[in-house]
Structure 1
């Protein structure tokens, strides 16, 4: 009698217990067992790009800043590119060549020493120096648009003293070349494949002068 009651209790508990992993897999759509929460994300990403819900330019700009040094620094009251700056710009040029449909903008900055009018001019000279160097690496000037100088108005470190970190240019993705609309047409896979193939080869740079 006790054994019968015990077995009946087990049946009752089993009936109330959640379904097993096997049953969930058996009763679900194919592929759901390997879904970690991102199932369908590639399709969603493509739709968002084509409908303007997601800015590919922002994503690509973030990737650029994370994979290469987007900032170079300058000596006091100078727009000359030293060896460290040139090495950083060669890495920028190598990255930019992978994306011929993308345009870039160079922003010039200064520290807070000197008057604002002079510093705005100095920031522009620094931006021009970067563009000239990138052009010498084989990057078309038509893709390096709208040089901007913020002068002393956007310091990283607020100090009236000379500050290397404030004397800089910043290169950012600004948009797309009109004759290369493939990203906006949702053909991102073509870019990924091109990037993958390029990464297998040896990276070379064209040595240029300022």
Structure 2
């Protein structure tokens, strides 16, 4: 009976994720995750996965997790940079966490072109967060959904589809808090919304390549 429950749980999670309107806003959003059944089961049993989901939901509730882009562009405008500065404030206050940035496009253009464009957008976000004092070792821009997961189903240009979504992807493996199993301390740590970059961090503009 226990073996059956371990098999059914990942399937149930996948079914729930398929119903999520913000498909880029879920844990393990890449196809590659389906090959990690042992890892997923271990994380669920240890509690790691539920902690990551809780922290992703908290991150999205407290700071803007999504930024949008102009048509056919990976350049970060002023509003995107302002949102990313808030993301960086949060990320710096939780050094135990790793984050992943998913790049998306609208439905205009070929799949291959849009997948590359989505990746450039994710990389632009990672680069900008790095200028705000976030270590690149805690940031991943390895997943691009291209035009396969639109928020708005339209064949025309749609800004809400031209976006990146930043999520909590896991814990820093060798961080002392994680090694001591103090996950609750991380989850319930207060986020100070007025946090400012430490002295010396340059709030400079970093834009991705546009076509």
Aligned: 1:204 with 2:196: yes
| TM-score, scaled to structure 1 | 0.69
Aligned: 1:148 with 2:137: no
Indicate which of 75, 88, 96 corresponds to 1:93: 88
Indicate which of 160, 172, 179 corresponds to 1:177: 172
Indicate which of 160, 164, 181 corresponds to 2:155: 160
Q: CA deviation at 1:191?
A: 3.6
The RMSD of aligned alpha carbons is 2.3
Aligned: 1:137 with 2:165: no
Query: Larger C-alpha radius of gyration, 1 or 2?
Result: 1
Whether the 8 Å contact between 2:68 and 2:163 is mirrored in structure 1 is: yes
Q: Which runs of 5+ in 2 are unaligned?
A: 1-42, 207-211
Paired positions, count: 159
Whether the 8 Å contact between 1:110 and 1:151 is mirrored in structure 2 is: yes
> Which stretches of structure 1, 4 residues or more, deviate above 4 A after TM superposition?
none
Indicate which of 28, 32, 51 corresponds to 1:56: 51
In structure 2, the CA distance between the partners of 1:50 and 1:170, relative to structure 1 (3 Å rule), is: closer
Show the 5 A alignment for 1:10-25.
none
2:46 is paired with a residue whose SS is: coil
Whether the 8 Å contact between 1:50 and 1:186 is mirrored in structure 2 is: no
Q: Which runs of 5+ in 1 are unaligned?
A: 1-48
